[in-house]
Amino acid sequence: MKKWSHRKPPMNFEWWGPTPKESRRIRISKRKDLYDKNMSLKDAVSKFIVRLGKRNKRSLNIGIGGFVNTRLPVAITHEMIRQGGIKDITLSYQSCGYVQDILIGAMLVDENHISIRRIEQAWAGHELLGLASCFRYAIENSLIEIDDYSNYGMSARFKAAAMGTSFIPVRDHGGSSMQYVNKGIAIRCPFSGDNVYLLPACHPDVAIIHAQVADSYGNCRIFGQLCTCSELALAANYNIVTCETLIPNENIRRYPNLTEIPWFAVDAVVEQPWGAYPVTCWGFYWYDIEHLKEWISAGKEFRKTGKIAPLEEYLNKYIFECQTFDDCISKIPYKRLRRLIELDGHQPITV
Amino acid sequence: MVEYNAYEMIAYTSSRLLKDKTTVFIGTGLPMIAAIHAQKTHAPNIVLLFEAGSLYPIMELGLPISVGDTRVGVKSCVMKGLCMAFELTQRGFIDYGFIGGAEIDQYGNANATMIGEDYSHPSVRFPGSGGAGHMAANCERTIFIMPLEKRRFCKKINFVTNIGYGDGSADYRKRAGVLGKGPWRVVTHIAVFGFDEITKKIMLLEVAPGYTVDDILDRMDFEPLIPNEGIKPMSEPMPEDLRIIRDIDPEGLFLKRKVEE
């Protein structure tokens, strides 16, 4: 047998979530047959986030699917905020806008209801529509610990985890200040002699993902940009998936090439039309810019004046006064929703 | 005399720098407008790549408001995810990358992370690297695109989010382990910069008509190199260019923003 060279883990290194070893053990121990995972959003969040978090001895790492304001798991996030009892969590994603910002907003309103301890990420904001004010406020006031990567960095970390390997070499981060603050290390490639940058895998405890189409076992089809959803789902130890429309398993088997997430990665499937509203979901609807601006301006006012009322009003109106996400969608004028469908213009495959 | 604003000039100039039959990694906003203008004029065969996973789209549904917008996926040849986009770049399929940035220094390093001394307690926090960190590292050449404002052209930046030529040493990028050649041009509304091959310092190449070199220096926190062969005037958009550019962004989402004087 070849002799392994020993190298100690870097100083202060800590996984901000389950270790690769623990993640492997969880995957091996879980059921892998086809069984019906269709359940209410309430039950899914209660079982796989709130209760999982309470059982966890360390900060629960939640991976967020989608990208910036595309196909974000909005309905799941609203349900998390509605239920509360989610403490000291870690968020991991490449780029995110609305979802991470309202979670932080909810923490700023009541940290006993929901609180975020750490974020590992590449980018936070709403692109053209503005900056993520709650995120900025929380980082500027050291309320949340942060770890910065590039979009590829976070994607590659999920990919490494999905591959079942504990790290991945990449060709960015080196030579930037990120290498002094994040968990990666620069190393010489033993084969080429080139310097490369190693990133540790990122296994979220649970990932939250919105797909367009799924069957009740958890096989998911994703249309439009895939973002990092397939890698994320395999990286995470549990997955909650919402979908615009449920289809029978026989349809999945008709075009198996279209399956982006395999059933045994998934723990809960919830059919939730408009589940990514107000962000865009290919094949179903475009952004509701007006609505996004409502949240963005509430956050902006808070960061500027310190007044919490605009955040509270938004969360009360669209989350706390609603029993379900359908109640939230019911508050949006029908004509506006119809317009968003028209603005999309894409065609998902459901047959 | 053609009337145009700052962002129209940036979009036009960036388009002018792109070559036909090349591949370009596109960021949100002006890069999209520049690339679509190039596609409609002098570079009909230019290939666009977006980080959320869309390769070679034909964007006919209107201007996307984000690189993650479903609109950037219209009629693509290939559509996957972020890993594909960045790995294609790492592999050597992508010639140019367009990068914005909150602050840039004289070696083309950019800060998009934070202002302040303490990373865990910044005085101002920006969104973060996003895709730019990888583009700056691994696109063969990068083009910065931003208005010329004093707050953006800094002698020293607190945090290097996106690698340029580092401290200017000849092997900085090699030691960093990145694959691309590095910053090539910096396009602003009244000046275009390049980089000196030896010192890796930013160099003033072109100035817009109606402006002097001093006007440019007034808007910077450091002095760029001046080439021996002199400074060229920036070419101005023709009415037809402006018509195309305004057609791409009819509401002025990106084109009608203000520049700090």
CATH value at residue B161 = 3.40.1080.10
- Report the domain count for chain B: 1
Please give the pLDDT value at position A6. Answer: 65
A323: CB partners within 8 A, 6+ apart: none
- Peptide linkage before A278 cis (omega within 30 of 0): yes
User: Based on the number of CB atoms within 10 Å of its own CB, is B233 exposed (0-12), middle (13-18) or buried (19 or more)?
Assistant: exposed
Residue B249 contacts A, CB cutoff 8 Å: no
* Residue B151 CB neighbours (<10 A): 11
**Mean of all residue pLDDT scores within chain A:** 96
CA distances from A139 to A117, A299, B109 (A): 11, 14, 23
* Residue B133 CB neighbours (<10 A): 32
Q: What is the arithmetic mean of pLDDT over A184-193?
A: 95
User: Based on the number of CB atoms within 10 Å of its own CB, is B50 exposed (0-12), middle (13-18) or buried (19 or more)?
Assistant: buried
Q: Is beta strand B54-55 parallel, antiparallel or unpaired with respect to B47-50?
A: antiparallel
Cβ of B129 and A155 within 8 Å?
Answer: no
Residue of A94, A178, A282 with shortest CB distance to B161: A178
E strand map for chain B = 23-26, 47-50, 54-55, 78-79, 96-99, 103-104, 110-111, 114-115, 124-125, 141-145, 182-187, 191-195, 202-207, 232-233
Whose tokens are 């602050």? That residue is B103
A15 lies in some domain: no
Mutation test of the interface with chain B: which of A225, A226, A349, choosing the one with the most B Cβ atoms within 10 A? A225
The complex's ipTM works out to 0.95
A13 lies in some domain: no
Does the pLDDT of residue A36 top 90, yes or no?
yes
Domain of residue B21 covers 6-248
Residue B235 contacts A, CB cutoff 8 Å: no
Domain of residue A229 covers 20-166+201-344
Q: Report the sign of the C-alpha dihedral through residues B207, B209, B213, B217, in that order.
A: negative
Whose tokens are 């000039």? That residue is B9
> What's the gap in Å between the CA of A43 and the closest CA on chain B?
30
Do residues A50 and A183 share a domain?
A: no
Please give the pLDDT value at position A1. Answer: 60
* N residues, chain A: 351
Please give the pLDDT value at position A5. Answer: 63
> What's the gap in Å between the CA of B134 and the closest CA on chain A?
5
Residue A309 contacts B, CB cutoff 8 Å: no
d(CA A123, CA A208): 18
Phi, psi of B54 (to 5 degrees): -100, 125
Cβ of A152 and B134 within 8 Å?
Answer: yes
Q: What is the arithmetic mean of pLDDT over A78-98?
A: 97
**Low-confidence residues in chain B, pLDDT < 50:** none
Do residues A295 and A279 share a domain?
A: yes
Q: Which residues of A touch B57 (CB under 8 A)?
A: none
- CA-nearest of B4, B5, B11 to B32 is B11
Q: What is the arithmetic mean of pLDDT over A89-97?
A: 98
Size of interface A-B (CB pairs under 8 A): 211
B115 lies in some domain: yes
The catalytic site residues of B sit at 51
Please give the pLDDT value at position B212. Answer: 96
Do residues A103 and A209 share a domain?
A: yes
A113 lies in some domain: yes
Using pLDDT thresholds of 50, 70 and 90, give the confidence band for residue A276.
very high
The pLDDT tens digits of the residues spanning A253-265 come to 999 999 999 999 9
Please give the pLDDT value at position A54. Answer: 94
> What's the gap in Å between the CA of A239 and the closest CA on chain B?
19
Cβ of A225 and B28 within 8 Å?
Answer: no
- Report the domain count for chain A: 2
